[in-house]
Amino acid sequence: MDKKSIITGVIIGLISNTVGLFVVSLLTAKISGRSGGITAILEAAISENFIGKLISLGAILNLICFFYFISKKKDGHAGGILAATILIAVGTFITKL
């Protein structure tokens, strides 16, 4: 595993988690019927202190990316995605304190 592939995996992991967060927020907005869309859900999540749950649900895309890179035998990228997931978990834990 070289450093370039690990860094690429971390970047892909952070981007996929961000995309996952927006997808989960969009689905939550559609289900709850809020008119403000994604921004209203994210603002409500911050004010009502459930942003950590949305971030954790957004990390499901990391799981898909991780298994994709494992199946393609790109262990460096998969390791980077794992590192990004751990960083996100630690960040979520810190926000809970």
Give per-residue pLDDT as tens, 9-32. 999 999 999 999 999 888 888 887
Q: What is the pTM of this model?
A: 0.86
Q: What percent of the chain has pLDDT over 90?
A: 53
What pLDDT sits at residue 1?
A: 67
Nearest by Cα to 11 from 72, 53, 19: 19
Q: List the domain boundaries for the chain.
A: 3-96
Task: Tell me the pLDDT tens digit for each residue of 32-44.
Answer: 777 777 888 888 8
